[in-house]
Structure 1
């Protein structure tokens, strides 16, 4: 999930001179489906493909699994396109289809239990440190056994990383809390719930802090309302760093008892519940809408694919997903008919990579295409860890697994999304992932950034290809998507390193991914038509 760069840059009120506001890309619903030549926006030409290539053409329904944090099945723009397990009788408490999952009508939740579902979870780093802290409780550099020295060194490095991240989270939480409190007081004095940029400009500061706040709000309020700024930036930032400090990086927090399984037994498969939304369906619902939001109902948005069914498979909490759940989610999707699986998640540490690799191989053996987000840390994942990855997998598996970076709307040096990971050997293609408008809980819609948004653009395209050309294999669909990109023949810029003073570098776009381009639905469907 995208860690908002704005939040990382927030300063404390005491130190702030001007808010380090990064700005927003121009918000335009559906831009990911537009055409570069016709619309001068670097979308994937979906609308053009429907008008010129697919009109009157028959298709076959394809199941696309959204392995994510939850999908709101009753959303106005999703309810018609949700997968329904017709072999199961809803609400009867019986495993009618005998697949091991009771009442799995729209999918399954691998992080749910008999009474509730996991919402917040630790990072994998936290879990690894907790495990090894018990193992090395009485170990020092002086008494460590030679056979344990490598593991002990790894533990110390991870513990230092955890302590560093926790310290930063607490500092950021303190900073944004101070900013929020000062801003709340200022707005209360102004006497308006949603003050305008003009209101702030006309206000006469009575303290130095008020003057700094006035300056800080000048730029953001040119681009959005105060209400939107406050909710999307301040409240989101406060919640984000609160989650980090209190849950994600907290060694004493462990919610797994909610599920009731043995989290260390990766062979265990039958646990969870049938609540595919869970306590927070924001991310998964947004992903689902990008893939296939109803194109016929004149509501909200239109997904990339027009004849797919969305299967919700909940495996990612607000924190890091567990490898056991990821593997089981893949197997569930495969066994229940999915032909494309979208995985908009990733993490820098892994507990049991082997069990995920085996699930990936199983998906490939059943002709299922895996679509994965590259991650949002602006890192080269050729050299930096990002799991799952295919660095130690066979060529056959890699042929049915495609990794996606995120691009923006302009065909210039800003084309690479500032947050997007990249990799000349690990990332296959890029797709729109900046300010993507899609479905969120409550039958509402929202703009979000991330490779989490770029991945479902490609999953939607894969579903579109498989529905109109059902004889194509998963490997062929990936090959078509990669071969049909719009090549980018210019340099792009990105910050090398973290912080406001990190230098910008300019590199050929072809250095960022295998294909050297942005996916294109029109080109892909034309190419698909040539395959026998």
Structure 2
């Protein structure tokens, strides 16, 4: 679930793209720390973290809480994170190559990666749909050599059809972004400037209707960027790169990077493989998530995380593509076995062929009093109505669900009909709460900082809150902490806009999540004190 919201917005009709850009710009017009601000005091729909620290936590002692971030990797050298990274004291830093704690994960100083080996790291991988189609083609692909056992043939045909549709859609989106870029280039050429500024744009007379519409979009974007070329580099280039990645890796049945890991991939029970390199080749997403949770507070650099006394464990299991169930199950078990009390999972996919293995790992986490926080996804869908979205709290055997699990949608800073982020999945049954997820400013690799959007950003807000509660009230169980977070939301009493059946609709907040509100640190800590 790597952050691709702006990329997606560019492939829609420009009117929708313009609306989303306006929403993002409105968020960024606020202070970078808006997610921690208070609605009444600051007029932005943050979670009142600063109010909680100032009014409820001064002088109180806390206990360090270990939080696992299962993600794409974390930049362990980041200036605002290196002080809060978990350090496995049983592993001796000076003895590289020796498994000092004998847990069969050699040199796991800050965590572990299930996406690599001494030979290198997996950067890109297929979508799960691609992997399933590849398996199906190997079994059923040649009609003249159809196996005698045709079990699964009907399902394979469904998957093949879904794959072809997705492949065609990706090609169409790629052409759409190319067309968008061509109009931008036309506007740039028309201004006669190598890097037109907002003033240059305002003075430019468009030659046609596409240029006129593009001028409006660019004028809004240049409230955020110094010139059009900077906008292209930051927004259009990543979008074009994304669709290239789709074609070459994610939707390419001939691409399979797993050999570099060196495990027996078909053995879902295998646990001991991987590498101690928890940064990996692409740590942007995980580094951003980690900063939201626990970047060092009040150090006069970067950003302030939600929680002030955490150790962050990096568990790398999410490539650029779909995560694999085996890796997710092992990542959860690794986090639990090493003491994590909260696990952040900002990833998801629509197929889970080894869900049973993931379920067993989730059950294990439940037995060890671990709270799991999961991002609801960025497809703008009612996930009560879709067939599946994984990982999920519901067990495949139909015997219950994970009790200590919170599903999180993304909200904007606006206390109006635009509160629910246009990209956020929602669901009265399957989404528990909303949290800030639009234009969230946090850490990125190389000791840098940037804005990202997504439920991937909303989930760590809740993870940080859960860690904060467990830190100041360490006797509370995972289920009690979940109960506190859900009961203490700020209720939203006005209508909000969502997309249903491809049309914008005005609905109640209780129609988009079961609590009908946005998480709030101040309310939660007040409530925690009564338990």
With the length of structure 1 as denominator, give the TM-score of the two structures: 0.92
Q: 1:316/1:210 Cα in 2 relative to 1: closer, same or farther (>3 Å)? A: same
Q: Which whole-Å CA distance do the structure 2 matches of 1:86 and 1:19 have between them? A: 49
* Conservation of the 8 A alpha-carbon contact between 2:174 and 2:243: yes
Q: 1:259 aligns with which of 261, 274, 296?
A: 261
Q: Which whole-Å CA distance do the structure 1 matches of 2:411 and 2:214 have between them? A: 32
* Conservation of the 8 A alpha-carbon contact between 1:72 and 1:441: yes
**1:3-14 to 2 correspondence within 5 Å?**
4-10=4-10
**1:148-227 to 2 correspondence within 5 Å?**
148=150, 151-180=152-181, 183-184=184-185, 187=188, 192-203=193-204, 214=215, 217-225=218-226, 226-227=228-229
Q: Which whole-Å CA distance do the structure 2 matches of 1:308 and 1:6 have between them? A: 31
Q: 1:381 aligns with which of 369, 383, 388?
A: 383
**1:305-316 to 2 correspondence within 5 Å?**
305-316=307-318
Is 1:514 aligned to 2:514, yes or no?
yes
**1:376-415 to 2 correspondence within 5 Å?**
376-384=378-386, 385-392=388-395, 398-415=402-419
Q: Which deviations, in whole Å up to 9, do the C-alpha atoms of 1:180-237 show, x marking residues without a partner?
A: 3664576478665532122134346789987775565344334533244212321111
Aligned to 2:239: 237
Q: 2:82 aligns with which of 76, 79, 83?
A: 79
Q: Which whole-Å CA distance do the structure 1 matches of 2:155 and 2:288 have between them? A: 37
**1:123-162 to 2 correspondence within 5 Å?**
123-139=127-143, 148=150, 151-162=152-163
SS at match of 1:66: strand
Q: 2:20 aligns with which of 19, 22, 40?
A: 22
Q: Which whole-Å CA distance do the structure 1 matches of 2:382 and 2:418 have between them? A: 17
Aligned to 2:305: 303
Aligned to 1:41: 44
* Conservation of the 8 A alpha-carbon contact between 1:85 and 1:106: yes
Structure 1: 5+ residue runs without aligned partners? Answer: none
SS at match of 1:81: coil
Shift of 1:3: 5.8
Q: 2:249 aligns with which of 247, 250, 261?
A: 247
Q: Which deviations, in whole Å up to 9, do the C-alpha atoms of 1:445-476 show, x marking residues without a partner?
A: 11111110000000001110111111111111
Q: 1:79/1:203 Cα in 2 relative to 1: closer, same or farther (>3 Å)? A: same
* Conservation of the 8 A alpha-carbon contact between 1:18 and 1:215: no
The alignment covers a number of residue pairs equal to: 522
Q: Which whole-Å CA distance do the structure 2 matches of 1:395 and 1:409 have between them? A: 39
**1:333-352 to 2 correspondence within 5 Å?**
333-352=335-354
**1:311-460 to 2 correspondence within 5 Å?**
311-384=313-386, 385-392=388-395, 398-460=402-464
SS at match of 1:80: coil
Shift of 1:506: 1.2
Aligned to 1:70: 73
Q: Which deviations, in whole Å up to 9, do the C-alpha atoms of 1:476-503 show, x marking residues without a partner?
A: 1111111111111222111224xxxx32
Q: 1:492 aligns with which of 492, 496, 504?
A: 496
Structure 1 window deviating more from structure 2 (510-519 vs 164-173): it is 164-173
Structure 2: 5+ residue runs without aligned partners? Answer: none
Q: 1:8/1:396 Cα in 2 relative to 1: closer, same or farther (>3 Å)? A: closer
SS at match of 2:173: helix
Q: Which deviations, in whole Å up to 9, do the C-alpha atoms of 1:118-168 show, x marking residues without a partner?
A: 11110000000111111112349x9897x746x222211211111111112
Structure 1 window deviating more from structure 2 (1-10 vs 396-405): it is 1-10
* Conservation of the 8 A alpha-carbon contact between 1:19 and 1:215: no
Runs of 4+ in 1 over 6 A off after TM superposition: 15-19, 142-145, 204-212, 393-396
CA RMSD after TM alignment: 2.6
Q: 1:228/1:473 Cα in 2 relative to 1: closer, same or farther (>3 Å)? A: farther
Q: Which whole-Å CA distance do the structure 1 matches of 2:479 and 2:11 have between them? A: 47
Is 1:478 aligned to 2:482, yes or no?
yes
Q: Which whole-Å CA distance do the structure 1 matches of 2:78 and 2:499 have between them? A: 38
Q: Which whole-Å CA distance do the structure 1 matches of 2:19 and 2:420 have between them? A: 19
Shift of 1:339: 0.6
Q: Which whole-Å CA distance do the structure 2 matches of 1:366 and 1:19 have between them? A: 44
* Conservation of the 8 A alpha-carbon contact between 1:413 and 1:492: yes
* Conservation of the 8 A alpha-carbon contact between 1:360 and 1:397: no
Q: Which deviations, in whole Å up to 9, do the C-alpha atoms of 1:263-304 show, x marking residues without a partner?
A: 111111011101111000000000000000000321011000
Q: 1:153/1:376 Cα in 2 relative to 1: closer, same or farther (>3 Å)? A: same
With the length of structure 2 as denominator, give the TM-score of the two structures: 0.92
Q: Which whole-Å CA distance do the structure 1 matches of 2:528 and 2:111 have between them? A: 30
Q: Which whole-Å CA distance do the structure 1 matches of 2:297 and 2:9 have between them? A: 38
* Conservation of the 8 A alpha-carbon contact between 1:291 and 1:457: yes
SS at match of 1:22: helix
Is 1:465 aligned to 2:469, yes or no?
yes
Aligned to 1:110: 114
